[in-house]
Amino acid sequence: RELYGVREWGAGFFGVSDSGELQVTAKPGSFEHAVSIPEVIEGIQARGLDMPVLLRIENILDTQISLLNDNFRSAIESLDYKGSYLGAYPIKVNQQQQVVEAVTRHGKAYHHGLEAGSKAELIAAMGMLRDTEAVLVCNGYKDEEFIDLGLHATQLGFKCIMVIEMPGELPTIISRSKELGIKPNLGVRVKLSSQANGLWAESGGDRSIFGLNAAQIIEVIDTLKDAEMLDCLQLLHYHLGSQIPNIREIRNAVAEASRVYAGLTHEGAGMRYLDLGGGLAVDYDGTQTNFMSSRNYTTDEYCVDVVEGVMTVLDEQGVEHPTIITESGRALVAYYSMLLFNVLESARFEVEPLPDALPEETNIHIRHIFETLQTLNLRNIQECFNDALYYRDEIRQAFSQGNMSFRERALGDRVFWETVNRIALLAKDLPSLPHELEGITQALSDIYYCNFSVFQSLPDAWAIGQLFPVMPVHRLEERPTREGLLADITCDCDGKIDRFIDSHGVKRTMPLHELKDSEEYYLGAFLVGAYQETLGDLHNLLGDTNVVTIRIREGGGFDFVGELEGDTVEDILSYVEYDTRMLFNRFRETAENAVREGRITPVQRKETLQAYKNGLQGYTYFER
């Protein structure tokens, strides 16, 4: 029950029922009306949708939006801050229409706006946002078309703010604004010297790709002054990077940015907004530390520290308190999606029992490992491991030089693995594992083959070693008896999850239950709502998974409120430019040739073509 750290990483949204099922609630910490995930899976399958499925819990997103806005509101109230707070959800974090729709729907009560980083995102935002009290922040490299769209949005009454990211954007903004006769709301992105640690932190600091340094900002001011548009400059923006685990780094950046804000005000700009970008982290591993996959602060602390940090500097500088904007994405959407998948089979680590003695003529290196095994004890564990590795290499060499039969090589492998296995069993009694033995549990673990693609559904786990909580969603009342890692169905050696969350950092295997013939075994990867959906790729032509959205009812139970069928094989082939009609016609010709040559009958041709057609229309994942 406690094995998978649900209480630590679940932020109160996840718990385990008495019957050992994983439960989810939209009210953190309150499980009275929690929903059983296996029950949701049953409902999904009854509706004819296959695993893997991306499950979204709509009201978890609502809870997170409220949490951020309410925490900022109470920090503002308790500190007597004179400005206000506005959120801007960055579309890049999860661009799916359903997600942006849910953000704008629930966010309306807080005037939670959107952030767009490209033309396509701005076009989506202009169509989705209905609330003219909310901000629409435009970041990213802007061409004339992007700028025109931003100006039209402003004319329509949106609080659209175009943030100057590169010096070259300003002349175009000025000339387009004069030509269209629309006064823009402008912001400027500053490169701070404060830097943060973290997997995504390169976007902050002096060397960051985007943003202007102090001299360039002064040039912007002078250019705007010359164009009599300095009042248009209303916002200062920075983005330190995503997933900032350490609150100290956040506070340092707020202090530095507030000083720049004050400087811009003193220069005569029409400053009203201070936009801190993203960075509010998610505690993926539940350690509440400044590890990369965690954060050493709460949302409440973040809000208080931000408001206090801005106030301290601006009060000292005699500058009016601005509206604080944050572009939190990860923290809003991570919890709301989970990937559910079934296990197809497992490869167990098992060594056939060895005989009591080896035949006389057995190769000398094999006999050496066998002797090592006989003398193994807690004190010589490291020495035996070194010997076993040495003789294993000798055996391999003897085989490749033709001095050993294949059958003998197989015996050598058995003796080696049994030795390693016994070493691993003994090592469990050691207070700490010698460095060389650290990988041993992984080498001896089972492999559970799972119905999903890491590249499609958890790209950050593959690309940057991001940790996500992964665990079974049922049988949690039963002690797992196996240790394993997870392989996906891409047949790629990188297509695996072999880093799992642990209170001490990272583990290379996870506890898993024995598979049963009579029952599917379901696992979930959690906190996958941010960045994973659109960063995923089509490796091995495995496409988008089915997506199901549920809403948990106040008084118990849940409703299916949305479903999107995943890609079919036909969809995927068309993404990589195949004409599937042409493919079918060509295949039909091949089948007709086979009839002509007498290899199949016309009826067999019909069956083959039907199978091909079904394949084209089927799901790209393993179907039972």
Angle of CA points 293, 295, 298, to nearest 5°: 145
The Cα 264–Cα 258 span in angstroms is: 10
Which of the ranges 144-152, 271-279, 543-551, 576-584 carries the binding residues for ligand PLP, by CB under 6 A? Answer: 271-279
Which of 15, 279, 309, 322 forms a contact with ligand PLP (CB under 6 A)? Answer: 279
Q: Going by C-beta distance under 8 Å and a sequence separation of 6 or more, which residues neighbour residue 36?
A: 17, 21, 22, 23
Residue 90 touching ligand PLP (CB under 6 A): yes
Q: How far is the CB of 531 from ligand PLP (least distance, A)?
A: 7
Residue 280 touching ligand PLP (CB under 6 A): yes
Q: How far is the CB of 108 from ligand PLP (least distance, A)?
A: 20
Q: Which CB contacts under 8 angstroms, 24+ apart, belong to 348-357? A: 348/446, 348/482, 349/417, 349/421, 349/444, 349/445, 349/446, 351/414, 351/417, 351/418, 351/421, 352/414, 354/414, 354/415, 354/418
Q: How far is the CB of 327 from ligand PLP (least distance, A)?
A: 4
Q: Which CB contacts under 8 angstroms, 24+ apart, belong to 21-25? A: 21/473, 21/474, 21/476, 22/471, 22/472, 22/473, 22/474, 22/476, 22/524, 24/57, 24/60, 24/552, 25/552
Which of the ranges 277-285, 393-401, 497-505, 586-594 carries the binding residues for ligand PLP, by CB under 6 A? Answer: 277-285
Q: How far is the CB of 527 from ligand PLP (least distance, A)?
A: 12
CB of 381 closer than 8 Å to CB of 423: yes
Residues in region 314-373 near ligand PLP by CB under 6 A: 327-330
Residue 142 touching ligand PLP (CB under 6 A): no
Q: How far is the CB of 203 from ligand PLP (least distance, A)?
A: 6
CB of 197 closer than 8 Å to CB of 245: yes
Closer by beta carbon to ligand PLP, 532 or else 549 = 532
Closer by beta carbon to ligand PLP, 139 or else 299 = 139
Does residue 52 have a cis peptide bond before it, meaning omega lies within 30 degrees of 0? yes
Which of the ranges 97-105, 227-235, 239-247, 563-571 carries the binding residues for ligand PLP, by CB under 6 A? Answer: 239-247
Residues in region 95-124 near ligand PLP by CB under 6 A: 115
- Using CB positions, name the residue nearest to ligand PLP: 278
Q: How far is the CB of 266 from ligand PLP (least distance, A)?
A: 26
Binding mask 159-188 for ligand PLP (x = CB under 6 A): ------------------------------
Q: How far is the CB of 200 from ligand PLP (least distance, A)?
A: 6
Angle of CA points 559, 560, 564, to nearest 5°: 165
Q: How far is the CB of 170 from ligand PLP (least distance, A)?
A: 19
Q: How far is the CB of 293 from ligand PLP (least distance, A)?
A: 13
Q: How far is the CB of 110 from ligand PLP (least distance, A)?
A: 16
Q: DSSP states of 415-484 as a string?
A: HHHHHHHHHHHHHTTSSS--GGGTTHHHHTSEEEEESS-HHHH-HHHHHS-----EEESS-TTS---EEE
Residue 195 touching ligand PLP (CB under 6 A): no
Binding mask 481-520 for ligand PLP (x = CB under 6 A): ----------------------------------------
Q: How far is the CB of 178 from ligand PLP (least distance, A)?
A: 28
Which residue do the tokens 């009839």 mark? 595
Question: Residue 565 class from Cβ within 10 Å (0-12 exposed, 13-18 middle, 19+ buried)?
Answer: middle
Cα→Cα distances 568→13, 574, 575, 613, 616, Å: 32, 10, 11, 11, 7
Q: Which two tokens stand for residue 196?
A: 């943060």
Closer by beta carbon to ligand PLP, 64 or else 234 = 64
Applying CB under 6 A, what is the total number of residues that bind ligand PLP? 18
The Cα 500–Cα 485 span in angstroms is: 9
Binding mask 519-558 for ligand PLP (x = CB under 6 A): -----------x----------------------------
Handedness of CA 529, 4, 454, 559 (dihedral sign): negative
Residue 190 touching ligand PLP (CB under 6 A): no
Q: What residues line the site for ligand PLP (CB under 6 A)?
A: 90, 93, 115, 139, 200, 203, 239, 242-243, 277-280, 327-330, 530
